[in-house]
Amino acid sequence: MRPMSDILDALRADVPGLQLLTDEIDRESYRRDEALHHEPGLPLAVALPRSTDEVAAIVRIAAAHRVPVVPRGAGSGLSGGSSGIEGAVTIALTRMDRILEIDPENRVAVVQPGVINADLKAAVAREGLFYAPDPASYEFCTIGGNIGTNAGGLCCIKYGVTREAVAAVEVVLADGAVIRTGGRGVKDVAGYSLTQLMVGSQGTLGIITEATLRLRPAPQRSQTVLAFFPTMAAAADAVTRTMASGVTPCTLELMDRFTIAAVDDWHRLELDRTAEALLLIESDLGGPAAEAEIASAEAACRTAGAAEVVRSTDPAEADWLRQVRRMAYRALERLGACRMEDVAVPRSRLLDLLAEIGTIAERHQVRCGTFGHVGDGNLHPTFVWDRGDTASEERVEAACQELYRAAMGMGGTLTGEHGIGATRVHLLAEQRGSEAVRVMQRIKSALDPHHILNPGRVLPLE
Ligand SMILES: Cc1cc2nc3c(=O)[nH]c(=O)nc-3n(C[C@H](O)[C@H](O)[C@H](O)COP(=O)(O)OP(=O)(O)OC[C@H]3O[C@@H](n4cnc5c(N)ncnc54)[C@H](O)[C@@H]3O)c2cc1C
């Protein structure tokens, strides 16, 4: 085995001009993503390439030295997917942050992976277009990270997850070869869909260096309903009734009492703190169609027993209400150490999942605020404990394992949108079955025979 310094010498010699961070303090800042409960390693170096050629050269050199690489966007992931691996090179794509083209005729945008989601949304909005994927982290997460995790967010109920928006990618493979998948047309069934294989693979099959993303016409001004419920059962019933009424709002989000109080304490919004749950329902159809959609949702909430229903037609206020929901995690973080989970079930099992979350938190004597994309059946139970209280942290760990199994037992998943990453690898086979995981391992070995790309993430180390 060659000394570690060899690869640094090779990177400096063969990729002139490459920004390479090797100071310990710099490397420390790339050790973690937002999955703070996971113990990652310290990268040997952090490379900040500016072009596909540089990424390809780095991967070729890493492969020759059998040194793993970890692709990284903004590091806002919640599954340890872009956290450091001891002795590996982290490749941060944040300097590749150009929007290369907006093509209104084909309704696509071509971007580098380091573009921030919110910047793309703003740029296409100036052309009367809309980039739909909308994770609550949209102001700081990158398109590369969104594709890496197949990110969800607040609009999936209507517009689907990131996968729906990815038409093509340019990818650097494990040997440094560069391929392009897909195209900008509406139809294309030539061969296997390598685009879809890359989406959600968390940097384990290739490094995305460019993406062609589908755009939509800009939606109309939002109308929003905020409904407060005396019980969680009533809120779940309102979700069922809203969907049964035949409408598809663009947002259908939930916050429980604990989360409402945390958000209200932070921003003094005068939310109803006696309510057990709040639903945020939004329509972007505009005009009479939005009016009808919101009226249906409002009626569903009232029939289900909402104590208070507030409607907003002012777009600024609607934006602000959505921002309130986006604040949920940061509001809970103010209370102590936090672990945000990400289970999802078919909508018909939502009430069972909500009840089980309460039971699990009680059994393990841990505080939990639940919020999330209830219209997708995707909830973020977030456990909170005093920093440094290791006994509570252990109880939270036990509660999370039970939570995963409860969701899987209801025909759901241990992760709806954050990814298996490094933190949930041990349960992948339990959800998918060992045969399915073997197929995934064969795909991984075919594309990355020396397991250079983000090893130990998504799939267990073999
Ligand atoms: C407050 C908060 C709210 C959030 N809300 C949501 C939400 O609503 N919905 C949601 O889905 N997520 C949410 N997240 C999680 C996170 O923001 C998303 O997973 C996001 O997609 C990560 O983007 P990133 O740029 O930070 O990627 P990173 O965290 O850096 O990386 C994520 C994964 O993608 C891989 N990756 C990164 N770039 C590339 C690339 N160019 N090629 C190949 N692989 C790559 C990494 O290896 C890693 O496995 C939230 C996080 C926070 C902190």
Tens-digit pLDDT profile for residues 339-375? 999 999 999 999 999 999 999 999 999 999 999 999 9
Residue 151 Cα to ligand 1 middle (Å)? 7
Cα–Cα distance list, 324 to 4, 278, 346 (Å): 47, 11, 26
- Residue 95: both structure tokens together: 């300097």
Q: What is the pTM of this model?
A: 0.97
Query: Where does 358-458 show beta strands of DSSP type E?
Result: 367-373, 378-385
Residues 388-433: tens digit of each pLDDT: 999 999 999 999 999 999 999 999 999 999 999 999 999 999 999 9
114 Cβ closer than 6 Å to some ligand 1 atom: no
Return the ligand 1 atom nearest residue 70 CA.
Answer: 47
Residues 200-242: tens digit of each pLDDT: 999 999 999 999 999 999 998 889 999 999 999 999 999 999 9
78 Cβ closer than 6 Å to some ligand 1 atom: yes
In contact, 383 and 399? CB cutoff 8 Å: yes
Return the ligand 1 atom nearest residue 71 CA.
Answer: 47
Return the ligand 1 atom nearest residue 329 CA.
Answer: 1
145 Cβ closer than 6 Å to some ligand 1 atom: yes
Encode 158-168: b = buried (16+ Cβ within 10 Å), e = exposed. bbebbeebbbb
Among 37, 70, 72, 138, name the best residue to mutate to test ligand 1's pocket (greatest count of ligand atoms within 8 A of Cβ): 72
Return the ligand 1 atom nearest residue 34 CA.
Answer: 53
Determine the length of the chain: 462
Residue 5 Cα to ligand 1 middle (Å)? 30
Residues 122-136: tens digit of each pLDDT: 999 999 999 999 999
